[in-house]
Amino acid sequence: MPKRTKLETGVDWIELSTTDSDWQAADPDLLGTMLAELHLIRAFEETVLELAGEGLVHGPAHSSIGQEGGAVGSIVGLRSSDGVNGSHRGHHQFLAKALTHVSGGVIDPANAVDAATQEVLQRTLAEILGLAQGYCRGRGGSMHLQWFEAGALGTNAIVGGGAPLAAGNAWAQKHSASSSRHDESSDLTINYFGDGAAQIGSVLESLNLAAAWKLPVAYFIENNLYAVSTRADEVTADTRFSVRGQGFGVPSWRVDGMDPLAVHLATEEAAALMRAGGGPTVIEAEVYRFFHQNGSFPGSAFGYRTKDEEAEWGARDPLQLVARKMVERGLIDDAGVAALREEAQRAMKDASAELVEVDPDRPGKRRIKPGLWPSPDFVNVGVRGDASELEGLPSAPDADVATRPIKFVDAIAQLMDRRMELDPRIVVMGEDVHRLNGGTNGATKGLVQKYGEGRVLGTPISENAFMGLAGGLALDGRYRPVVEFMYPDFMWVAADQVFNQVGKARHMFGGDNPVPLVLRTKVAIGSGYGSQHLMDPAGIFATSPGWRIVAPSNAADYVGLMNAALALEDPVLVIEHVDLYGVADEVPEGDLDYVIPPGSAAVRREGSEVTVISYLSMVKHALEAIDLTGVDGELIDLRWLDRASIDWDTIGASIQKTNAVLIVEQGAQGTSYGAWLADEIQRRYFDWLDQPVARVTGEEASPSISKVLERAAIARTEEVVAGLEAVRAGFGG
Amino acid sequence: MAEIIRMPEVLAGTAEAAVQTWNVGMGDVLAQGAKLAEIETEKAVVEYIAETSGTVGRLLVAEGQNVAVGEPIVVLVAEGEGDAEIDAALAAAGVTVSPAPGAAATASPTAPEVPVPAPVSVVAPVRRFVSPLVRRLAQESDVDLGSLTGSGPHGRIVRRDLEKYLELRAAELSRSAQEAAMPSPAAPLDPVVSASGDNVGYVDVPLDRMRKAIANRLTLSKSTVPHFYLTADCRVDELLALRARVNETAVRRVSVNDFVLKAAAAALVEVPEANSIWNTDSIRRFDRVDIAVAVAVDGGLTTPVLRDVARTPLSEVSASVADLAERARAGKLRQHELEGGSFAVSNLGMYGTASFSAILNPPQAGILAVGAAQKRPVVDAEDVLSVATVMTVTLSADHRVLDGAVAAQWLAAFQRRIENPLSILI
């Protein structure tokens, strides 16, 4: 008979509900502010549905009508420097945060709308309509609402996508606490998501990471019982979603979301814990959306819930509850409530009138005022920054400057040491970067000893979470995260955060808020790690918006390129290669402070017969192949690979000289880098080409573990030789 | 049962051949022993006789298309058989290419699998592969790409081909320009006079562009074009007499060379195979006779082209040659007057040269080197020794275009004309 002991998590999981005495004790200003915010949000959402019904909202209008209590109750007590982010259904949270910010946290229900409030309503509506005066210049629309000044970090159309970003914001808040303009207590972040997101990986990874690092972030589950039309009990065993906290050691509260005061009280308790350094919390608020997922029809119209159920929840409308309790206490009367309702509706009517007008071509219909749309030429503005932040930084020393010998990988560690010493914002994170004497390859050697585990963070094996955390840190702006992916293929695990969030954030939210982040990874082709570790990520990143890419072929370049990456306000992928780590290389004497800016390709060999374009370790192979064949190739080492940073001047001048191009890379065909480049070259230089753009890549297959098959799958010197011979035949040589 | 007929091995060791002409069309009923096609190899054109009877179900190759020996070229079907049987037979034979029925025969553009050249004519409008760079540069430089030969894959004209061409053209143009600017004896480039220690002096005359062009072009020709030579002694007593009579009444004097040009043109009409040039993946045969005339100018030579010589009267030929020569020496020739021609004549007779052989000027496939008309002892058919006026001519021919027999036919035709000069006047 085994001994069996029942284990406990020892973590609080509290169901909180209000009593009459709570309502009696509640600050009249708090209740009045909540009532005003509830009414303003309700009137706002009604206006959105009205405009959507007229076809004036492009895309979905996810109404929060019925769910206002959760947002208002949890946000009304927050500081402006506290952050919130949310999901596709985020109008109410955004408005609650913005209204609380502009009002200083107190709104008089008898005089709820002032100029600042009116502006919030109009600009938010303008954003949802996709107009230039919106908070994100019309780019974000209903699902991407961001206003940093108010602490609205950005709502998110990817289910669970905001959870890691919120953790990043909280990391910045925790580590900046002592310098915050408040007291010693930390600011905090609330990430809102629905019951449908409560089991997605990024949320669970983030819960774990936030708990491990004790970050002041609340994961606020708006449990409205339905993921679109799928009932909660169909997708999870315990429909009390706050149970998640038990698995990650996170204190959790469960509360009636139709009771804004209950939500407020639960949030106050959670906030006290978070601000005091107690780590993350979970708050689950049970709410009900009165309409379907989007649009102005009730869910019962789609058959997944009953009219009786809707009537039952409708009777628990948070607007009515707060009004009733305030009337009971004599804080307002029915006429005052009706006046508030009218004021809110009038404010929205005014806001609409600024944005839409009678359509002269369709009597009885309205249209967007034509002058309010963003200009079409705004389409690409702000995909990245303009790199002007690099101006004035030291440029690379002349070629004849004295050098000192150094192993390539040691140059990485020494450079990071130099930067971390001078720039306290830099934080390094990744798997094992704090151990093994500099991570798995030695690139972070000595850093943790010097800067401690507060700046050299060994992460859980949760690429999506720590990539997103870094993204949140970057968006906050007070820190410069340097993330390491042990192998590039892991980007697929973190794909949402890498491409949907970090890559798109700046542009999607209007183009102004930068995302300074460095992602380091190493191409390990040739190391025998097989199909799931041996990709070259350049092609995928080059075809994804927002990212800049560097791929140094030598240590001296690494210094200049990494310095540029760390100084830039954009996300930059720094690609390394295992073949280069051990190379006995050299860097210039003196401080490693110089910068090699975007648009700085290097001509490694001048030639007349073909322009050979390569990067990273293949530069050396290309040089060998040129020597072996005797083809007079001009070898360009790209250094910067992305669309915005590539050096067209150098490439163009060379092509106009040689009239032939060979793009050389090592990895598999499918995700290869050269495909987009070849396309761009043939369009830019068609009339300068004497033969088709030629390419050297690996095979279709991902490299296998078997040494022979791995070699067969990749390109090295021999493949470049074959490529050069093909080009030679092409020019009639 | 559909029967596949394959490209025969016409000669031992022949790897590929082309159907020069189909003698049958789709649906034709073919008896055993009937003429199916003319098969052309590098060496011969042979008639291909059907070994079985049947109905022509599908022609698999277009006229002029080179295919490997053993490749299916036509499918014969029995009564009542159609595409299904043809496809089955081809599939059974492992043939993947199956053009739409009749595609090859009708040269329909809807048969993508088999490239069908346009109907063969003397100047076939063949698709010329040209790199984008060359296409642009050719337009900018006003170059007719038809006069270039491609050295890239699939005969693509690439930058190097154009550069070679432009270099030559530039040399010719610069010479013309130079002469136009300096009608008096061209100011020589300053020679570099040097003397070594032991007083063996020399002069390095710098190369002007014409000299470079001549050097490049003729080196290229002599080293890459397979020349062969045929010589004939032509008796020209009658020619000289006729010329004297013509000149008695002529407004302008007709030269022996004018007769030579007319005789050469007539011979090219008589032996049309000789009126051809090498075109890399084809032989281009002309239906008009354009002949280049070598004209010595200060510092070199140039070769203006006389058009349609066969149909131009002698007097007009004479006038044209005089005009071209005069303008050549004055540097006033225009570019188009220097382009084209399948044949050339070079005459050094006026210098007393007895005989010589000339280097071909590509793409022309023949050049006739004409020596001086001299009195020589001759032995006639009756073994009687006498004195006659004899002019030795030597034909240099491009063996890629002309074989020995054709060249000999041409030379015989020429000799017949030149020795019976009245035929030239007719």
Nearest to A688 among B133, B152, B161 (CB): B133
Per-residue pLDDT, averaged over B154-177, amounts to 84
Nearest to B158 among A686, A688, A732 (CB): A732
- A608 and chain B: CB distance < 8 Å anywhere? no
What pLDDT was estimated at residue B113?
44
| Coil, strand or helix at B347 | strand
| Res. B179: pLDDT tops 70 | no
Average pLDDT over chain B reads 81
What pLDDT was estimated at residue A87?
95
Contacts of A686 in chain B (CB under 8 A): 132
Q: Are B133 and A689 in contact (CB < 8 Å)?
A: yes
| Least confident residue range of A275-289, A546-560, B2-16, B391-405 | B2-16
With a CB-CB cutoff of 8 Å, which residues 659-678 of chain A face chain B? 659
Across A607-713, the runs of DSSP E, i.e. the strands, are 610-614, 633-637, 661-664, 694-696
Per-residue pLDDT, averaged over B381-409, amounts to 92
Distance CA A259, CA A68 (A): 10
Residues in chain A where the model's pLDDT stays below 50: 181
Per-residue pLDDT, averaged over B89-103, amounts to 60
| Coil, strand or helix at A206 | helix
Nearest C-alpha in B relative to A688 = B133
Among residues B315, B311, B304, which one has the least CA distance to residue B253? B315
Which residue spans of chain B are classified as CATH 2.40.50.100?
3-106
Burial A316-354 (b: 16+ CB within 10 A, else e): bbbbebbbebbeeeebbeeebbebbeebbbebbeebbeb
Contacts of B134 in chain A (CB under 8 A): 690
Secondary structure element (H or E) that encloses residue B398, with its range? strand B385-398
**A6 vs B121, more confident:** A6
Q: What is the 3-state secondary structure of B113-132?
A: CCCCCCCCCCCCCCCCCECH
- For residue B248, what pLDDT band results from cuts at 50, 70 and 90? confident
Which residue spans of chain B are classified as CATH 3.30.559.10?
226-425
Per-residue pLDDT, averaged over B398-411, amounts to 93
| Res. B126: pLDDT tops 60 | no
For residue A726, what are the contacts with CB-CB under 8 A and spacing of at least 6? A694
CA distance A679 to chain B (A): 15
Distance CA B9, CA B41 (A): 9
What pLDDT was estimated at residue B202?
81
> What totals of helices (H) and strands (E) does chain B contain, helices first?
10, 20
What pLDDT was estimated at residue A674?
97
Query: Which of B149, B151, B158 has the most A C-beta neighbours within 10 Å, making it the best mutation to test the interface with A?
Result: B158
* Domains, chain A, with CATH or none: 13-375 (3.40.50.970), 388-588 (3.40.50.970), 603-730 (3.40.50.920)
CA distance B153 to chain A (A): 6
- A394 and chain B: CB distance < 8 Å anywhere? no
| Res. B98: pLDDT tops 60 | no
Per-residue pLDDT, averaged over B173-177, amounts to 72
* Fold of the CATH domain B3-106: OB fold (Dihydrolipoamide Acetyltransferase, E2P) (2.40.50)
Nearest C-alpha in A relative to B134 = A690
Distance CA A611, CA A608 (A): 8
Nearest C-alpha in B relative to A683 = B132
Per-residue pLDDT, averaged over B349-353, amounts to 88
CA distance A629 to chain B (A): 18
Query: Which of B159, B163, B224 has the most A C-beta neighbours within 10 Å, making it the best mutation to test the interface with A?
Result: B159
DSSP state letter for A303: T
- Pick the catalytic residue from B154, B227, B336, B399: B399
What pLDDT was estimated at residue B306?
92
Q: Are B133 and A733 in contact (CB < 8 Å)?
A: no
What pLDDT was estimated at residue B53?
81
Nearest to A687 among B132, B153, B160 (CB): B132
Token couple for A30: 């708090």
Q: Are A691 and B134 in contact (CB < 8 Å)?
A: no
Contact A459, A467 (CB under 8 A): no
DSSP letters spanning B310-342: GGS-HHHHHHHHHHHHHHHHTT---GGGGS--S
Q: Considering the domain B226-425, what is its CATH architecture? A: 2-Layer Sandwich (3.30)
| Coil, strand or helix at A528 | coil
Distance CA A149, CA A102 (A): 10
* End-to-end C-alpha distance for chain B, whole angstroms: 61
What pLDDT was estimated at residue B187?
44
Dihedral angle sign, alpha carbons of residues B55, B58, B61, B64: positive
Nearest to B131 among A689, A729, A733 (CB): A689
Q: State which amino acid sits at residue A230.
A: T
CA distance A656 to chain B (A): 9
Contacts of A731 in chain B (CB under 8 A): 152, 158-160
Q: Is the peptide bond before A537 cis (omega within 30 degrees of 0)?
A: no
Q: How far is CA B250 from the centre of its chain?
A: 34
- For residue B68, what pLDDT band results from cuts at 50, 70 and 90? confident
What does R_g of chain A's alpha carbons equal in angstroms?
A: 29
What pLDDT was estimated at residue B24?
84
What pLDDT was estimated at residue B50?
80
Nearest to A689 among B132, B160, B161 (CB): B132
Dihedral angle sign, alpha carbons of residues B59, B63, B66, B69: positive
Per-residue pLDDT, averaged over B222-246, amounts to 91
CA distance B156 to chain A (A): 9
CA distance B140 to chain A (A): 12
| Res. B194: pLDDT tops 70 | no
Secondary structure element (H or E) that encloses residue A165, with its range? helix A162-175
Helix axis angle, A115-129 relative to A91-103, nearest 10°?
150
Contact B150, B128 (CB under 8 A): yes
Q: Are B158 and A731 in contact (CB < 8 Å)?
A: yes
- For residue B99, what pLDDT band results from cuts at 50, 70 and 90? very low
Contacts of A732 in chain B (CB under 8 A): 150-152, 156, 158, 160-161
Contacts of B160 in chain A (CB under 8 A): 731-733
Q: Are B133 and A659 in contact (CB < 8 Å)?
A: yes
Q: What is the number of CB-based contacts under 8 A between chain A and chain B?
A: 43
Nearest C-alpha in B relative to A655 = B133
Tally of CB atoms within 10 A around A94:
32
**Active centre residues of A (catalytic):** 463, 533
- Beta-carbon-side half-sphere exposure of residue B355 (alpha carbons within 13 Å): 13
- A691 and chain B: CB distance < 8 Å anywhere? yes
CA distance B157 to chain A (A): 9
Return phi, psi of residue A634, to 5°: -100, 115
What pLDDT was estimated at residue B224?
86
Among residues A445, A474, A485, A482, which one has the least CA distance to residue A576? A485
